[in-house]
Amino acid sequence: MDTPTLATIISRHTSDLKQADRMPPETLKDYQSAALRAVATRAQEYSPFYREKLERAGIRPGSIRGLEDLPRLPFLTKEELRGHPWRLLTCERRDIMIIQVSTGTSGGEEIYSTQSRLDLRYHLSAHYPSLLPVTPGDVCLNALPYEMSTSGLAMHREFTEGSHATVIAAGKGGAYSTPAKTLKVFRDLRPSIVITSPSWAIALAEEAVNQGLSLPSMAPRKMWLTGEGCSPSFRRRVEALWGCAAFFLYGSLEGGMMGVECEAREGYHLTQGHTLLEVVAPDTGVPLPPGSVGELVVTALLRHDSPLLRFRTGDLGVFEKDTCTCGATASRFRVRGRAFEQLHYRGQRVSPLFLEEFLMRMPEVGNWFHFVVPASNTARIKVRCEPATGVRPSRELGSTLASRMEAFTHLPLDIEFVERLPRTGTKTLRVVRE
């Protein structure tokens, strides 16, 4: 069976990909099957790494027919990528346009992400106008990291080249990207869009108070939060401080932008023009049906020169069963946090987002906190947090709040108030193990 090239498939679906979030199911299936066949075939033909890996799995060259064969492909893991920047290439090294590196929050050797000029051209062929309603004339404050990480530059290109909008390349925590300077730029340029991480949104709001600025009086039209897990309660705090609606966006160095919330805010819509997403059982790798929580596995459909086939993200998630009221045909999923950040305590697995949700409902607690997990199952989980502005901390107040939170979570908890926790320009970790 002849395998059309990715260029041919994109050309055949050019008009469909301009509204990839609303592709009819049959068209989507035809496109995704063809794109998967093209990238898998190229991977096996031009990458020694993939060739050996697929042959070991008993997959003959050119035998991938489409979506029905996806479960036959072997998984790709972070460990296989650590310290191997060229491992996935199906092109010459000189064709690579940019190399970016992992943030390092999961430990180990660095993971690199490469992109060729052709990869970028193909990436920009799919759009999600109902999920990312950014248009020419919008001014977007991009307060995501530009150095090393993919996130800042990826959204920069999404806005400038995908949406033809204007971007303020503010960055996050870099040499010049201080909260003070970012707030001055925000005041001068009054962006209509802001994208940043949840914790950096709080850091910027604190700086606004220091500068005597009222963010709600200059509120952007829309805000996206990404790069860190975030509970609905924490989001409401961000929205109150900024005076605008905030939406979640999910992505990673390896998989790019994989999910975006719509106005209904009932989970992420899959970026189905770029991405195939599976939920698998973490221990067996067996694909799970909608409604079951498992590890998210991503396959990139438009990565021609650095194919990503069935990559285990290490994040936990679940597909929703019902359709969304917003009209987007893209399937929906929710993220339950990173697998390595899950709290394993007395035989239970607890997401830090679950604890954060209840903690952030208590107005006496400030916006900075850690969950301190003990080494022993006989000890109690400690919530180390700042008090909210104007709240006088005391042992009695901590005990009252801990009891309230225990009633919600059914976990033994202590609350310890501290004057100030460190602010950081890197990714904020909520879980501390002692």
Question: pLDDT tens for residues 249-261?
Answer: 999 988 999 999 9
**Does residue 176 surpass a pLDDT of 90?**
no
**Does residue 142 surpass a pLDDT of 80?**
yes
| Arithmetic mean of pLDDT, 108-134 | 93
Cβ atoms of 394 and 269 within 8 Å: the answer is no
**Does residue 355 surpass a pLDDT of 80?**
yes
Quickly state the pLDDT bin for 429 (edges 50, 70, 90). Answer: confident
- What count of other Cβ atoms lies within 10 Å of the Cβ of residue 135? 11
- The pLDDT tens digits for 402-426 are 999 999 888 889 999 999 998 876 7
**In the 3-class helix/strand/coil scheme, how is the chain assigned residue by residue?**
CCCCCHHHHHHHCHHHHCCHHHCCHHHHHHHHHHHHHHHHHHHHHHCHHHHHHHHHCCCCCCCCCCHHHHHHCCCECHHHHCCCCCCCCCCCHHHEEEEEECCCCCCCCCCEEEEEHHHHHHHCCCCCCCCCCCCCCCEEEEECCCCCCCHHHHHHHHHHHHCCCEEECCCCCCCCCCHHHHHHHHHHHCCCEEEECHHHHHHHHHHHHHCCCCCHHHCCCEEEECCCCCCHHHHHHHHHHHCCCEEEEEEECCCEEEEEECCCCCCEEECCCCEEEEEECCCCCCECCCCCCEEEEEEECCCCCCCCCCEEEEEEEEECCCCCCCCCCCCEEEEEEEHHHCEEECCEEECHHHHHHHHCCCCCEEEEEEEEECCCCCCCEEEEEEECCCCCCCHHHHHHHHHHHHHHHCCCEEEEECCCCCCCCCCCCCEEEC
* Residue 410, pLDDT score: 86
| Arithmetic mean of pLDDT, 261-271 | 95
**Does residue 107 surpass a pLDDT of 80?**
no
| Arithmetic mean of pLDDT, 97-112 | 81
* Residue 105, pLDDT score: 62
Q: What is d(CA 3, CA 136) in angstroms, rounded to the nearest whole number?
A: 37
* Residue 106, pLDDT score: 62
Q: What is d(CA 426, CA 200) in angstroms, rounded to the nearest whole number?
A: 9
Percent of the chain with pLDDT over 90: 79
Quickly state the pLDDT bin for 139 (edges 50, 70, 90). Answer: very high
Cβ atoms of 388 and 419 within 8 Å: the answer is no
Average pLDDT, rounded, for the chain: 92
Q: Nearest 5°: CA angle at 104, between 102 and 106?
A: 115
Buried b vs exposed e over 403-417: b needs ≥16 C-beta within 10 Å?
ebbbeebebebbbeb
- The pLDDT tens digits for 199-249 are 999 999 999 999 999 999 999 999 999 999 899 999 999 999 999 999 999
- The pLDDT tens digits for 298-312 are 999 999 999 999 999
Quickly state the pLDDT bin for 428 (edges 50, 70, 90). Answer: confident
